[in-house]
Amino acid sequence: MKTVKPLVLAVIIAFCAFAKAQTVVNQTIDKDINAIETKVIDWRRDFHQNPELGNREFKTAEKIAAHLKSLGMDVETGIAKTGVVGILKGKRPGRVLALRADIDGLPVPERADLPFKSTAKGEYRGNEVPVMHACGHDTHIAILMGVAEVLSKNNDFAGTVKFIFQPAEEGAPPGEEGGAELMVKENVLKNPDVDAIFGLHIGSGQDINTIAYKPAGIMAASQSFTINVKGKQSHGSTPWTSIDPIMAAVKIIDGLQTIISRESPLTREAAVLSIGKIEAGVRSNIIPESAQIIGTLRTLDYDMQRQINKRMKEMVPAIAAAYRAEATIDIPAGYPITYNDPELTTQMLPTFERVAGKDNVHLIKAITGAEDFSFFAKEVPGLYFFLGGKTPGSKEAFPHHTPDFFIDEGGLLLGVKTFVQMTYDYLGQ
């Protein structure tokens, strides 16, 4: 039997002691994570019952800030109007990681029969509207608040965690700036400078306790556009004395769809053009003077986006002119493609598989939904993934942004576990 050298023996003893200490630490963290589940669900239900629209999340921000302050963090409020940022320092210097949750609701009435159903009201485009967390942002807030509490109790890591609670992900009210783009302008990724950022989104159609991811582009670029059509008003009984803007608007809508179906190379990447609103007239027997069309364009390729924009600007006035009307179109830049840094995704994949189980982690194709997390990921390496929110075996999953939208809260704890473990693994690399 060979004699073990003293130095080698010392290294083995030290490694065993470290491994034992890490096991104790992990057990403590797991205990704290499991203990936080009830709180996370309670927070989620409170935010769900009391949603607020983008740039108006005043009470939501107050609750978040109070929680972060109770954990002893340095907290900054009023970023990008109603955003909240908390800073948690580890016990040793190191990199800076940002974790992000969006906090705004939507102008959608809730139909789901829940004891914490929303009956809130808000103002949107000058009208009183029902407000609902119809995209799961309430779960995002609650998950990140839970992560903040767990990490504040277990901050034996090298580096700093910046918790970003972002308003107006669904878009700022007309005429206002907001969301991630404004947060970036206001230097939310600076002081301390962020090295990487992680984000998640709950999915009503994805089974709980699963994770879905994709390197590179995972969500589409999004542009909202507005078309104004000008005609000539007349009595409904004599349409020949009018220039009908409604007829022109209908033909414009029809024509725009041919850009997607006949001019876009959809085998390269997906593209979607949808009309969400058309407004014209006041009564049945008056052909109005004007009409307005509002819609959205989703693209996963910037060259395709540029070509579709070009054709939209050519087609809209030309179709209007064919019906003797005039039309203008405005297409702001919108959200960029949500891009997952490939190297960062590769680094974190083992974390996903360890936390959720390899069989519960799925590589997916890009989707035509959009996310202004993309503005953060343009500045620093980012990783955005999907967390399951659907009850396994349920017959129907209601889409996001609809009155029947529903999330199974049994999957929220995996969100906490994943963010916590991603933090330790990233800062420990």
Q: Where are the domains of the chain?
A: 36-220+337-428, 221-330
Confidence class for position 12, pLDDT limits 50, 70, 90: low
Q: Per CATH, which fold does 221-330 belong to? A: Alpha-Beta Plaits (3.30.70)
Q: Indicate which residue of 213, 323, 335, 384 is catalytic.
A: 335
Question: In the structure encoding, which two tokens stand for residue 369, read together?
Answer: 């939904």
Average pLDDT over every residue of 76-93: 98
- Supply the DSSP string of 359-402, one letter for each residue: GGEEE---BS---THHHHHHHS-EEEEEEEEE-TT-S--PPTTS
pLDDT at 28: 84
pLDDT at 20 over 70: no
Confidence class for position 11, pLDDT limits 50, 70, 90: low
Distance CA 248, CA 404 (A): 35
pLDDT at 2: 52
pTM flag (> 0.85): yes
pLDDT at 127: 93
pLDDT at 133 over 90: yes
CATH architecture of 36-220+337-428: 3-Layer(aba) Sandwich (3.40)
pLDDT at 343 over 60: yes
Q: What angle in degrees, to the nearest 10, is found between the helix axes of 245-263 and 302-322?
A: 150
For the stretch 207-220, pLDDT in tens is 999 999 999 999 99
339 annotated active-site: no
Distance CA 149, CA 67 (A): 9
Average pLDDT over every residue of 285-306: 98
409 annotated active-site: yes
